[in-house]
Amino acid sequence: MADLVSALADIVGAANVATGDAISDDLTHDEALTAEARAPLAVVRPASTDEVAAIVSLAAAQGVPVTARGSGTGLSGACIPQTDGLLISFDRMAEIVEIDLENHVAVVQPGVTLAQLDEATAAHGLIYPVQPGENSASLGGNVATNAGGMRAVRYGVTRNQVLGLTAVLGTGEVIRTGGKYVKATSGYDLTQLIIGSEGTLAVATEAILRLHPRLAHGATVLIPFTTLDEVAAAIPRIVGSGVNPTILEYIDFLTMGAITASAGLDLGVPQDVKDAALAYLVVVLENRTADRVEEDVVELAELLTELGALDVYVLPPGAGASLIDAREKAFWTAKAVGADDIIDMVVPRASIPEYLAAVQEAAQATGSLVVGCGHAGDGNVHLSVFQSDPAIRTDVVSRILRGGAALGGAVSGEHGIGTEKKAYLAAIEDPTKIDLMRRIKSAFDPSGILNPGVIFD
Amino acid sequence: MADLVSALADIVGAANVATGDAISDDLTHDEALTAEARAPLAVVRPASTDEVAAIVSLAAAQGVPVTARGSGTGLSGACIPQTDGLLISFDRMAEIVEIDLENHVAVVQPGVTLAQLDEATAAHGLIYPVQPGENSASLGGNVATNAGGMRAVRYGVTRNQVLGLTAVLGTGEVIRTGGKYVKATSGYDLTQLIIGSEGTLAVATEAILRLHPRLAHGATVLIPFTTLDEVAAAIPRIVGSGVNPTILEYIDFLTMGAITASAGLDLGVPQDVKDAALAYLVVVLENRTADRVEEDVVELAELLTELGALDVYVLPPGAGASLIDAREKAFWTAKAVGADDIIDMVVPRASIPEYLAAVQEAAQATGSLVVGCGHAGDGNVHLSVFQSDPAIRTDVVSRILRGGAALGGAVSGEHGIGTEKKAYLAAIEDPTKIDLMRRIKSAFDPSGILNPGVIFD
């Protein structure tokens, strides 16, 4: 141990290695509701790719586990270190290396936060469009989990924005994948493979990100419906209409009540409409000109009225932003009122009503409360599970995940598997695929030191 | 051999196995200019995923190479079989399994052609937007090469459209990846890894494809410039303006002359402008309404005039379509006039002028003629190389690829590496990455039977 710490200090300087009581509690957990905090053997704070490579080489030689951590805002336990392992913290690698206006890309270190990048891109009329709802999240973590968020219906998720990576393999070797271009067919796409691998294949130390023009005009539209089937039926019609929504969310009436109450938000919906509304759609339309936004709002309103909406509310700009903000904070609202677990399954979007029926059946069968909202355009349903008994909670979560899998869904749309959903993945997923993933991990990380126990055992 | 053929006949029926003279010459080559045709030991025509799995299992047990083939329109030799191997031909697996209007996806077998899918989606006001310029190409081949084409600047390439795959590993095991949803973080993205792997990791037997609303209105705009630097400078401005072009191509004056002459096309550009124009931009704008297209054309014309365009021509619909068609046939024009090789390198789009300067330097140093056009918005430059001496041709192609690699580019943007560019890839690419790719291949295909010798040796 002393030898290891001394070797780490040789790499990053003694001031950038912490052990024992010097390790901040903040570094021992993420935001998963079910995960236990764990302190690592040592926290290491590298300042360069070369230093990361040296740390990983050292760890590989000694068989010491390595977990990488950005802001620690994950929801699946994937950045909680091993007690006998190292935690690489990226707070010293948090620079925007470049905003390239000709190629419309940003080059960032893993510790850069979404807030930091948003400010830098806004100055040039550009946007990095992945907004998973937590602006303090780091880009390194976003890459590791393939972060999504509300704007995915228009812009896609992290994997659609990352054009290239610098990454350290489990051998300590450094590779550079992709580049400042949006396409290539020159061997296997290692960039895509590393994205979403939750730190188990490689440690990303730099990313090339695609930027988009920032749209200057927008409107937030709130649409109550009496049934979820109507909401589900409206979604393909909205997407098919070509208005190309930036955000297309559904919120059930319980969640809507909770997030608006928590934010002290009055959206101007009359009580009789509130009483009749079982589910809401929230649609954000954006465009280059105010005229086009206005035209699109009119078209959307006509379409939704025809599809049975109780009413269509174009929210004043302040209220619109507050509602989106409150929706982004839905997780915190759920946590504050005592949710015991969260699920972010993805199903074919047309199967949302059937999936939610299965969810309610599972909730009733186990005496649990399950409420939710979701990225309706993507079929990514976020559920808060209230069930304090751990065994029953495992049962209800299993039932919910099996219900979605039967509809062709996947365990997680954007939170990842981490440690907290891996037992469910193992139970649901085809063992042939899990075995294949294990062999792929061995190709990147022959000694198995990178985030062991995450995604699969 | 007789045993193998008999075992294959047991799987697919004797009528669907061909050997010797019964093998059509068509199945021995693709469209690569430099590749030699090769007939396989046997051609097998399966009708289902199970039959493909049985064929691959048999081949794995006997160590017999397997190459899959769609329409054979590839440009890198990747579907040319081994003389001691099997060729799986997908002409009996050419069905559109489903057009799902609620989830906006198509489910297709690998032999389905782009033309077939385009007709089926058009009937519903939808589009599969990848149009690599050859409508007889098959979706299986598109997945294998991560096909791109002119519309990639707006819609991305094949990997941005494929949501899931059914695929047979080199072990004969069948996996199903992804689903009818646009995002997931539930283990490694096997879909993305298989796309672009040119048949070396798995044989795809079904694909779930994302569909988009088909835009009803469009305009084709032709813009001559006196220098390529001006063209390059205009590209980020066009993309940044938000007009969101569907197509953004540059065509050099030699290629423009050749493709318009070959198509007998008069675009109405006066002779003095033609004489002054060294490069052209072709921009296609599409939108839901004719008004918006018109507004965008005006905005584009103002922007380009300000950026030094010689003039801006909004082509009559017929001429616009003919120009795009002629551009799509640029490869055939080059082939007809005797091109000896083609290159489709991708570089950061802002580096196109510098890259093309390096290209012309290489051409002059070796006494070769190199002309081109390209997907300017993507940095994907298509070059025709005229040099009949094989050794000098290897030299000029090497110089051109090294020139692009020095600018951060990749060997191929969309054609793939196949057999014809693998020596160049081996010379240019980081050996650490090639070794990693070899280990990944072993994870999918432990006996090394899937398209051996493609991408790397």
B1 confidence band (pLDDT: 50, 70, 90): confident
pLDDT given for residue B452 in this prediction: 98
User: A17-38 as b/e, with b when 16 or more CB fall inside 10 Å?
Assistant: bbbeeebeeebbbbbbbbbeeb
Determine the Cα–Cα distance for residues A182 and A196; give it in Å rounded to an integer: 19
Minimal CA–CA distance to A381: which of A416, A418, A342? A342
Residue range B256-270, pLDDT digits in tens: 999 999 889 999 999
Cα A50 to chain centroid, rounded: 28
Contact by Cβ (8 Å): A199, A145: no
What CATH code is assigned to B2-91? 3.30.43.10
Q: What is the pLDDT at residue A2?
A: 85
Measured CA to CA, the distance from residue B207 to residue B93 in angstroms comes to: 12
CA torsion sign for A94, A98, A101, A104 is negative
Element (H, E) at B126: strand B126-127
How long, in residues, is chain B?
Answer: 457
Residues A137, A114 contacting (CB under 8 angstroms) = yes
The one-letter amino acid code at A347 reads V
At A31, give phi and psi (nearest 5°).
-105, 10
Rounded to the nearest angstrom, the gap between the alpha carbon of residue B222 and the centroid of all alpha carbons in its chain is 24
User: What does each C-alpha distance from A157 to A9, A234, B164, B311 come to in angstroms?
Assistant: 37, 23, 16, 39
What pLDDT score does B147 carry? 97
**Residue of A193, A215, A430 lying closest to B193 (CB–CB):** A193
Strand duo B86-89 + B42-44: pairing: parallel
In angstroms, rounded to a whole number, what is the distance separating the alpha carbons of residues B143 and B206? 10
To the nearest whole Å, the CA of B129 is away from the closest chain A CA by 14
pLDDT score recorded for residue B351? 95
Give me Rg for the CA atoms of chain B.
22
Q: According to the per-residue pLDDT averaged within each range, which of A238-252, A261-275, B41-55, B221-235 is highest?
A: B41-55
Q: How far apart are CA A367 and CA B303, in angstroms?
A: 63
pLDDT class of B414 with cuts at 50, 70, 90: very high
CA distance B37 to B26: 9
Q: What is the pLDDT of residues A395-436, one digit of tens each?
A: 999 999 999 999 999 999 999 999 999 999 999 999 999 999
* CA distances to A46, A56, A138, A171 from A9, in Å: 10, 14, 25, 20
Per residue in B69-97, pLDDT (tens digit) is 999 999 999 999 999 999 999 999 999 99
State the smallest CA–CA distance between residue A200 and chain B in angstroms. Answer: 10
Dump pLDDT digits (tens) for B336-369: 999 999 999 999 999 999 999 999 999 999 999 9
Which amino acid is residue A188, in one-letter code?
Y
Instruction: Give the ranges where B317-389 is alpha helix by DSSP (H).
Output: 317-328, 330-336, 352-366
Please give the pLDDT value at position A267.
92
Domain boundaries, chain B: 2-91, 96-213, 217-331, 338-437
CA distance A32 to A105: 32
Q: How many angstroms separate the CA of residue B40 from the nearest CA in chain A?
A: 24
Report which secondary-structure segment, H or E, holds A194: helix A190-194
Q: Residue B104: is its pLDDT beyond 90?
A: yes
Residues A113-136: tens digit of each pLDDT: 999 999 999 999 999 999 999 999
Which residues make beta-bridge pairs with B346? B380, B410
A180, closest residue in chain B (CA to CA): B348
Which of A145, A154, A188, A422 is the mutation pick for testing B, counting most B CBs within 10 A? A188
> For domain A217-331, which architecture applies?
2-Layer Sandwich (3.30)
pLDDT at B232 over 90: no
Query: B124, B165, B177, B185: best mutation site toward chain A, by most A Cβ within 10 Å?
Result: B185
SS (H, E, C) A141-156: HHHHHCCCCCCHHHHC
Decide if pLDDT at A232 tops 90.
no
Give how far A165 is from chain B: nearest CA, Å: 13
Write down the pLDDT at residue A1: 81
Closest alpha carbon to A235 in A378, A343, A131, A407: A378
Cα B121 to Cα B116: distance, rounded to the nearest angstrom: 9
- Give one DSSP letter per residue of A204-262, joined into a string: EEEEEEE-EEPP-EEEEEEEEES-HHHHHHHHHHHHHHT---SEEEEEEHHHHHHHHHH
Select from A189, A411, A443 the Cβ nearest to the Cβ of B443. Answer: A443
Q: What is the pLDDT of residue A228?
A: 86
pLDDT at position B283 is 97
pLDDT tens, residue by residue, A132-158: 999 999 999 999 999 999 999 999 999
Among the partner residues B160, B186, B439, nearest to A410 by beta-carbon distance:
B186
Angstrom CA distances, B451 to B79, B83, B144, stand at: 8, 12, 11
The whole-angstrom separation of Cα A334 and Cα A339 is 5
Average pLDDT across chain B, whole number: 96
The token duo for A375 is: 């990225």
Distance from CA of A342 to the nearest CA of B (A): 15
A442 interaction partners in chain B (CB closer than 8 Å): 439, 443
CA-wise closest residue to B198 among B446, B426, B441, B442: B441
pLDDT band at B116 (very low <50, low <70, confident <90, very high): very high
Q: Would you state the structure tokens that stand for residue A442, as one six-digit string? A: 């061995």
Q: Which residues in chain B are closer than 8 Å to A186, comparing Cβ atoms?
A: 410-412, 416-417, 425, 429
Look at residue A229 in the predicted model and tell me its pLDDT.
87
pLDDT of res. B228: 86
Confirm whether A2-91 and A338-437 share one CATH topology: no
What's residue A73's pLDDT?
95
- Mention every residue, 6+ apart, whose C-beta is less than 8 A from residue B441: B200, B201, B448, B450
State ipTM. Answer: 0.97
Q: Which class does domain A96-213 fall in? A: alpha beta
Alpha-carbon gap, residue B416 to B344, rounded angstroms: 9
> What residues pair up with B202 in beta bridges, in sequence order?
B169
Nearest CA to A401 among A454, A346, A456?
A346
- Stretch A299-323: mean pLDDT: 95
Q: Which of A104, A158, A176, A183 to mutate to test the interface with B (most CBs of B within 10 A)?
A: A183
Which residues does B344 contact at the CB level (< 8 Å), separation at least 6?
B75, B380, B381, B382, B383, B412, B413, B414, B415
Question: What confidence tens digit (pLDDT) does each residue in A349-359 have?
Answer: 999 999 999 99
pLDDT at B2 over 90: no
Lowest-pLDDT range of A100-109, A253-262, B167-176, B185-194? A253-262
Contacts made by residues B426-434, CB under 8 angstroms, sequence distance 24+: B426/B456, B426/B457, B427/B398, B428/B401, B428/B402, B429/A186, B429/A187, B430/A175, B430/A176, B432/A169, B432/A173, B432/A174, B432/A175, B433/A175, B433/A177, B433/A187, B433/A190, B434/A187
The string of pLDDT tens digits covering residues A246-305 is 999 999 999 999 999 988 999 999 999 999 999 999 999 999 999 999 999 999 999 999
Query: Which whole-number Å values give the CA distances from B229 to A293, A376, B284, B349, B361, in the listed order?
Result: 35, 44, 21, 11, 16
Shortest CA distance from A235: residue in chain B: B102
Cβ neighbourhood burial of B21 (10 Å; 0-12, 13-18, 19+): exposed
Q: What is the CA A364 to chain-centroid distance, rounded?
A: 28
B84-116 residues labelled b (16+ CB within 10 A) or e (exposed): ebbbbbbebbbebeebbebbbbbbbbbbbbbeb
Supply the pLDDT for residue A291. 96
CB A221 within 8 A of CB A297: yes
CB-based contact B210:B105 (threshold 8 Å): yes
* Topology annotation, domain B338-437: Alpha-Beta Plaits (3.30.70)
The pLDDT of A89-117, averaged and rounded, is 98
